[in-house]
Structure 1
Amino acid sequence: MVLFHSLLPLCGLLATCTAYVPLPPSDDAFYQPPYRYELERPESILRPRQLPKPFGINATIAKTHQLLYRSTDSQGKPNAVVTTVLVPPNAHPNKLLSLQNAYDSAFIDCPPSYQLYQPDSFIYEREIIELALQEGWYVSVPDFEGFTSAFTNGVQSGQAVLDSLRAVLRSRSITGLSSNARKVMAGGSGGALGSEWALELQATYSPELTIEGTLLTALTPNVSSVFETVEGTNSSSVIPLAMLGLSKQYPNLSRWISDNLQPLSAPGFLEANKVCGANLQPIFQTQQVSSKYFGRPNAFLDATPQSVLHSVGTMGLHGTPRSPIFSCKGEADELSPIADTDALINKYCDKGVTVQYLRVAKADHEIGGAYGFVAGFPWLKDRLNGVRLPAGCNITNITLPAGFPA
């Protein structure tokens, strides 16, 4: 679920480019949890470290911390996850944005904690991170897919986001953030996936948290529906990325993939375990993934993948959000049909969730997602400033303002 390629510059376009580059997670001992960490409660900080400023963020940053914290995967097993905490100068210790990056990868060396330091990486949400830092907010960017990169696993993602919030709120002696800070979340596309699942799971997984508001742009409520939509298109790489990501915590799906992959084409499919999502798109674009790699169309409709997709790839089944929502969706979204988002929003409205939902005429996945960040940022500011929000749902059909990139 790919966003905002055209909005962000590459280091390679600059004349000179020097930055601290850490070891990749696969080689960095920081990512490995300490002995018997599973005995710690979820949210516990297992290991902190301070790093130089990330290369990919242009705003002034006073300090950058990374926290390895204890969380729980979709099978109820303990896991260790990293979040990167960006602290601006003159930071407000009572304001926190949890920004879920759409890193969309099944390869373990692609999380934001590492990619923030890569000079040739796109950080799709860079502009909202910079705006938040300019406002004096703390910004936490969790590796919510977990160490193994369980892309599109909603339960893994949501629980990791919630535990990142709890861990950061416990980090005052490290970061200076107040344990009573007001909190908002934001994410687009794959980042909205992590944010939305956190909302669904909050009531049961971390009921003590209060989240003042959540920005969800370019939502992908149903991963199975996404598969059907992107098959044979420029976004078909989502299919191998998601299938392999889901298989990380579902051995039955891993076996199904092994049993059904065509031997001659299997290496090409498994390449998605070795390449970051943004770099994988040209490899798979326009491919009929099911037919090419599994020898038949609609293989993903088999019982095994559908059971996993229903369990951890379908939003709206695990709880009702307590947080107000600002959502934006392009009517011409070519990755995830707007009907899926309409249905999810209507369901939450019927259950009493406060929602502001913009349906953007003629906007595709990328443009609708980008506009959602622009339109939703003032709303996030109001939530952190304690501005009262009237209850209820407001669903509005809009057109892009003149001059907005299309």
Structure 2
Amino acid sequence: MTTHHITDARPRHHVSALLRLSALTGALALTGTCVLAGLPAASADDAPDPVAAQSAPADTFYDPPAGYESATPGTILASRPVRAAALPSLPLAVNAWQLLYRTTDADGNPYAAVTTVLSPETRSGPARLLSVQAAYDSIQRTCMPSYAMTAGDLASPPPSEALEAAIALDRGWTVSIPDPGGIDNRFLTPRVMGYTVLDGIRAAENFSPLGLDGAATRTALTGYSGGGIGTSWAAELHPSYAPELNIVGAVLGAPIPDLAAAMRSVSGRISGGLIAVGVAAVMYDSPEFSAALDRYLKPGARAILAAAGRECVSATVSKNLFINASDLLTVPLDQVLSDPVIHATIADRARGTATPTTPMYIVNAVNDEVSPIAKVDALVARYCAAGASVSYVRDDLPDLISDHSIEALTSVGGSFTWLDRAMNSDNPNPPTCQTTTVPSTFTDGSWSTQLPAFTQGLARVLLSQSLGQ
């Protein structure tokens, strides 16, 4: 295993606590959302730029060593200490490393990925590991959590999940935040996001500085939206791919189980640019899909899709507010989705074909425009019919502007209440399926118990105090 060293990047100066609080509040308000202003409208230039050209910043850490293919999945190939940040110029006072490890691609071949692992500087209590899947939703390496969490500048803000990681760290848990797409950033590729998450857990458990208990470590998964996609893949693949892992629970927030339904639902909405994000990712994966789609694209659409392949998700959505599928296509969306090649390619990315054996907490807004509730209802029904344990919470908050984004915030209290039980109880959740529809996950009682701990953890982040005390 190669070890890389960096100098301590902790800033020598700190902004005031008041400015930090303002910045942190802004980050919380943007959890799961996109930057909505300040960027120009999408160009209508019809340049036939290909979707793919992923930028690869010069960083040899991401290059797997020769012969890595013979290593077993989860083997650490390289490690380096890093300074992880909750916000630019606001580092987390924790121990942090990045691990390059061997994993598996969609075709079962050797592949590599990076995870950022964090542990409290002083930990009391039993070892616990939380794998946090970020909704970075891009095929660019610079958008991945391992870059964004350590860049330290306003142009590369860390994922909002970094704040959830801080909450977990203050509980004394170790945290793994993988790059679910791997070193080539295969976002939305079938199975890859599950393999990278599970092998990231293996790597973390094998990294001795974290002080975990190997495969016996009590471990949970969590992710919302794009992070929910990775979490659901990992939960489904766990029994067959990594059955030795002691995964005690998985939180699937708005997991978008059907990409075709999501495209129909989000079309014309404020986050309509997500259509370009998803389509660009699938085009990057599949030349056959790209060729089939090309027959239906309007002039200007190719440039929008190519730009989506070069940008992070917030930029793409910001430049394409309220975009409709009809703005990109020469025929109705349903006709495109019924094309045999396009239909098969998207169907390969659906979840629900395997049954997780770990208990799950699934939360989704009834009026979610990105993760349509009917498809999540159907996913839960399939899981339950196959014998899975699911606690399913449906949030009936009225559709305001973007209920997907609102739910990303309001569901955090219930998610951590459920995770607390999963991590600390031998019988944390009922071994059956239970569905509850609530007026709002912000008023279901979880926040009243979680708020003191959340406030304490966020205050320590603002003051650069050690987490997990």
SS at match of 1:90: coil
Could you report, residue by residue, the CA deviation over 1:97-149 in whole angstroms, capped at 9, with x for unpaired residues?
A: 00001101122221000111243325222332111010111000000022232
**Cα drift, residue 41 of structure 1:** 1.7
Could you report, residue by residue, the CA deviation over 1:155-188 in whole angstroms, capped at 9, with x for unpaired residues?
A: 111111111111111112x432221211001001
Determine which of 173, 185, 194 is the counterpart of 1:137: 173
Aligned to 1:231: 267
Q: Hey, what's the Cα distance between the residues in 1 that align with 2:108 and 2:295? A: 26
Aligned to 1:100: 133
The count of residues paired between Structure 1 and Structure 2 equals 383
Determine which of 37, 40, 46 is the counterpart of 2:71: 40
Structure with higher Rg: it is 2
Aligned to 2:81: 50
Q: Hey, what's the Cα distance between the residues in 2 that align with 1:7 and 1:336? A: 18
Q: Hey, what's the Cα distance between the residues in 1 that align with 2:393 and 2:314? A: 27
Aligned to 2:439: 399
The one-letter code matched in structure 1 to 2:418 is W
**Structure 2 gap segments, 5+ residues each:** 1-26, 32-54, 448-469
**Structure 2 contact 83–92 (Cα < 8 Å) conserved:** no
Q: Hey, what's the Cα distance between the residues in 2 that align with 1:49 and 1:256? A: 43
Matches within 5 A, 1:7-406: 7=30, 26-56=57-87, 60-91=92-123, 94-118=127-151, 119-120=153-154, 121=157, 123-172=159-208, 174-179=209-214, 180-257=216-293, 261-262=297-298, 264-289=300-325, 291-298=326-333, 299-312=336-349, 314-317=350-353, 319-362=354-397, 364-389=403-428, 390-400=430-440, 401=442
**Cα drift, residue 60 of structure 1:** 4.7
SS at match of 1:207: coil
Moved more, 189-198 or 38-47: 38-47
SS at match of 2:332: coil
Q: Hey, what's the Cα distance between the residues in 2 that align with 1:370 and 1:71? A: 32
The one-letter code matched in structure 2 to 1:155 is R
Could you report, residue by residue, the CA deviation over 1:316-371 in whole angstroms, capped at 9, with x for unpaired residues?
A: 01x10011011111111111211111111122122221111111112521222322
CA 1:220–1:171: 2 relative to 1, 3 Å: same
**Structure 1 gap segments, 5+ residues each:** 9-23
Q: Hey, what's the Cα distance between the residues in 2 that align with 1:343 and 1:112? A: 31
Aligned to 1:6: 29
**Cα drift, residue 251 of structure 1:** 3.1
**Structure 1 contact 231–288 (Cα < 8 Å) conserved:** yes
SS at match of 1:162: helix
SS at match of 2:79: strand
The one-letter code matched in structure 2 to 1:206 is A
Aligned to 1:12: none
CA 1:216–1:367: 2 relative to 1, 3 Å: same
Q: Hey, what's the Cα distance between the residues in 1 that align with 2:386 and 2:91? A: 39
Identity, in percent, stands at 32
Q: Hey, what's the Cα distance between the residues in 2 that align with 1:53 and 1:309? A: 35
Moved more, 182-191 or 93-102: 93-102
**Structure 1 contact 59–130 (Cα < 8 Å) conserved:** no
The one-letter code matched in structure 2 to 1:169 is E
SS at match of 1:191: helix
**Structure 1 contact 213–325 (Cα < 8 Å) conserved:** yes
Could you report, residue by residue, the CA deviation over 1:32-59 in whole angstroms, capped at 9, with x for unpaired residues?
A: 1111222222111111111123253868
RMSD over equivalenced CA pairs, Å: 2.4
**Cα drift, residue 254 of structure 1:** 3.5
The one-letter code matched in structure 1 to 2:421 is D
**Cα drift, residue 261 of structure 1:** 4.2
**Structure 2 contact 28–409 (Cα < 8 Å) conserved:** no
**Structure 1 contact 101–125 (Cα < 8 Å) conserved:** yes
**Structure 2 contact 277–305 (Cα < 8 Å) conserved:** no
